[in-house]
Amino acid sequence: MSTLSAHQLQHCKQSLEERFRQLREEIRQELLNSEDPDYQQLATTVHDTEEESVADLLLDLNLADIDRHVKEIRQVEAAQNRIEAGNYGICIDCGVAIPPPRLEANPAAARCIGCQTLYERQYAQPGHASL
């Protein structure tokens, strides 16, 4: 069971919503700044959609920064889904409560420190970000 108070949960929820908006805007700006007319066209249409997943639309774009943002959007959306399901703040691997300071630092955290460390050791690839 999560050790978050209602106030802490609300704060995390707001942080996730704000980060989601920031990421979408960063993606839009990167597309607008691109010299590719197709990216510019995509940017002008993406910013008007509310809850549609930008991630699916941008997967085929081979831009490293956008790819990183898309991955983070997915993490944020997964955290939002955990909030809705009532299991936010619980490690997805071991089921132990994630400490509130960790969630405050990274509201999208899905694992406790121990499980995240193990996950990174098992799945990190040279030259790729492991978070």
Mind listing the pLDDT tens digit for each residue in 60-111? 554 677 788 889 999 999 999 999 999 999 999 999 999 999 999 999 999 9
| Measured distance CA(54)–CA(19) in Å, rounded | 14
| Measured distance CA(92)–CA(2) in Å, rounded | 12
Q: Which residues are bridge partners to 90 per DSSP?
A: 97
C-alpha separations of 62 from 56, 58, 59, 65 in Å: 13, 8, 8, 9
pLDDT at residue 53 greater than cutoff 70: no
pTM of the entire structure? 0.71
Among 9-18, 23-32, 100-109, the least confident range: 23-32
Q: Which residues are bridge partners to 97 per DSSP?
A: 90
- Write the CB contacts of 96 (distance below 8 Å, at least 6 apart in sequence): 90, 112
| Measured distance CA(95)–CA(110) in Å, rounded | 10
Structure confidence at residue 18 (pLDDT): 96
Structure confidence at residue 42 (pLDDT): 59
Do 24 and 16 touch, CB atoms closer than 8 A?
no
Structure confidence at residue 4 (pLDDT): 87
Q: What domains does the chain contain, in order, with CATH numbers?
A: 6-123 (1.20.120.910)
- Write the CB contacts of 21 (distance below 8 Å, at least 6 apart in sequence): none
Tell me the pLDDT band of 59, cut-offs 50, 70 and 90: very low
Instruction: Between 64 and 49, name the one with better pLDDT.
Output: 64
Q: Which residues are bridge partners to 16 per DSSP?
A: none
